[in-house]
Amino acid sequence: MPENHLDFSRTDELIELLTKIRDGEPSLVDIMAMAELLATTLQPYFRKLDTSLYGELRHIAQYIVKTKDEIGSLQANHMSEERIPEAGMELSAVVDATESATDRIMESAETLMAADPSDHQAYADLVNAEVMNIFEACSFQDITGQRISKVVETLEFIDRRISRFASTLKVEDKRDALSQDEISREERRQKQILHGPQMSGEGVGQDDVDALFGGDDGAAPASQDDIDALFH
């Protein structure tokens, strides 16, 4: 008999027991005998059911283990406790260094503008000193470049982990995942005329501005529609 087919070899015994139970008061022995017959008859079915159920549960367990491994590979704790705070500190240091360098350059420029050139030697010494101070202040770019590189590295680290996690689990973006505040901010950003500093090759160029106001070729000034199209 095939492994996954029901065993009907003892069907007559089962019918006899069922008839006996139906026609009279069944004894405990009769009930136990019927249970034994049912178990024997249905054993291949339960075996097949158990195998199928076991396979499904094993598949679910493997998926859970895989998901757990991917969550571990995401290194969320490492990102939230180390990488992101470090990136924030690096950006703060960039802001501080830029502000300090700007102050030094402005102070040197103001000193040069207020200097008395009547004493040529003193004026030359002052110019040399302040220009050297400006050069030293400009050296902040090297340090800030290294700091920004660390921030970019952190962003790339996060991007790689999240992309791998989403790809492995076949995660798709939910359109309704944004909160109402986030949706409102995005709509305001899209409706604004200016979106802040533009990347190289993007945004409004000087030629566009010249054309907007008519330029030197005698062309008519731009209309309001032209202005709106220029900034959107």
**What is the tens place of the pLDDT at every residue in 90-99?**
999 999 999 9
Tell me the residue type at 56: E
Residue 1 within a domain: no
Same domain, 161 and 89: yes
Residue 190 within a domain: no
End-of-domain residue from the set 150, 171, 192? 171
Residues 66 and 28 sit within 8 Å (Cβ to Cβ): no
**CA-closest candidate to residue 2, choices 37, 48, 38:** 48
Residue 58 within a domain: yes
Same domain, 81 and 64: no
End-of-domain residue from the set 72, 97, 121? 72
End-of-domain residue from the set 26, 56, 72? 72
Residue 48 within a domain: yes
Question: 113-172 pLDDT, tens per residue?
Answer: 999 888 889 999 999 999 999 999 988 888 888 999 999 999 998 888 888 888 877 777
Rg (alpha carbons) of the chain, rounded to whole number: 40
Altogether, the residues listed in the chain come to a count of: 232
Residue burial 152-166, b: 16+ Cβ < 10 Å; e: rest: eebeebbeebeeebe
Q: Provide the number of structural domains found in the chain.
A: 2
Same domain, 160 and 107: yes
Same domain, 63 and 84: no
Same domain, 110 and 158: yes
Q: Identify the domain containing residue 31 by its residue range.
A: 11-72
Question: pLDDT band for position 28 (50/70/90)?
Answer: low
Same domain, 61 and 110: no
The reported pLDDT for the residue numbered 105 is 93
Same domain, 110 and 31: no
Question: pLDDT band for position 36 (50/70/90)?
Answer: confident
Question: 62-101 pLDDT, tens per residue?
Answer: 777 787 787 788 788 888 888 889 999 999 999 999 999 9
Residue 87 within a domain: yes
Same domain, 80 and 165: yes
Spatial distance between the Cα atoms of 174 and 172, rounded to a whole number of angstroms: 6
Residue 128 within a domain: yes
Q: At residue 37, does pLDDT exceed 60?
A: yes
Q: At residue 182, does pLDDT exceed 60?
A: yes
Taking each helix axis as running N to C, give the angle between helix 140-168 and helix 120-138, from 0 to 180 degrees, rounded to the nearest 10.
10
Residue 204 within a domain: no
The reported pLDDT for the residue numbered 108 is 93
Same domain, 89 and 127: yes
Question: pLDDT band for position 2 (50/70/90)?
Answer: very low
Residue 106 within a domain: yes
Q: At residue 217, does pLDDT exceed 60?
A: no
